[in-house]
Amino acid sequence: MNRGKYIVLTNNPLVFDKLEKTHEVIYLETTYEGLLREVRDRIHDGHLLLTHPLSGSVKPNETPYKSVLISAGKEEVDRRSLTIIENAINSKIRLDDMEKAYWKIFS
């Protein structure tokens, strides 16, 4: 499975500004969840997930920004990549739901 170089997908304008001249970067004006969904769509197109979408010490509900690396090349859909991104999307949705329930109870 040789998919070659990588693409950085990000909704973080600072990441885009820092990397755009030296890396292939796709900047999307979207939410954290929107970025995860875009990554999922690209995995369906045959890209391979190269970094875990929930990596880092900041929880998805604590920041609006995310950057994910995918392969530049495409092959068959990688089931492992698809499972990881789907689980990440579901985790983000669950965290959002828990936060809404918390604010409903304590506000």
Torsion of CA 42, 69, 97, 91, to 10 degrees: 90
Can you spell out the DSSP letters for 23-70?
A: S-EEE----HHHHHHHHHHHHHTT--B-S-TT-SSS-GGG-S--EEEE
Residue at token pair 């990549």: 81
Could you report the per-residue pLDDT of 61-92, keeping only the tens digit for each?
788 999 999 999 999 999 999 999 999 999 99
Whether the CA torsion 28, 22, 69, 63 is positive or negative: it is negative
Residue 68: name the closest of 6, 1, 4 by CA: 6
Q: Span 33-62, mean pLDDT?
A: 92
The one-letter amino acid code at 93 reads I
State the pLDDT at residue 59: 76
Using DSSP bridges, classify how beta strands 25-27 and 6-10 pair: parallel, antiparallel or unpaired.
parallel
This prediction's pTM: 0.88
Asked if the model's pLDDT at residue 39 lies above 90, the reply is yes
Can you tell me whether residue 89 is helix, strand or coil?
helix
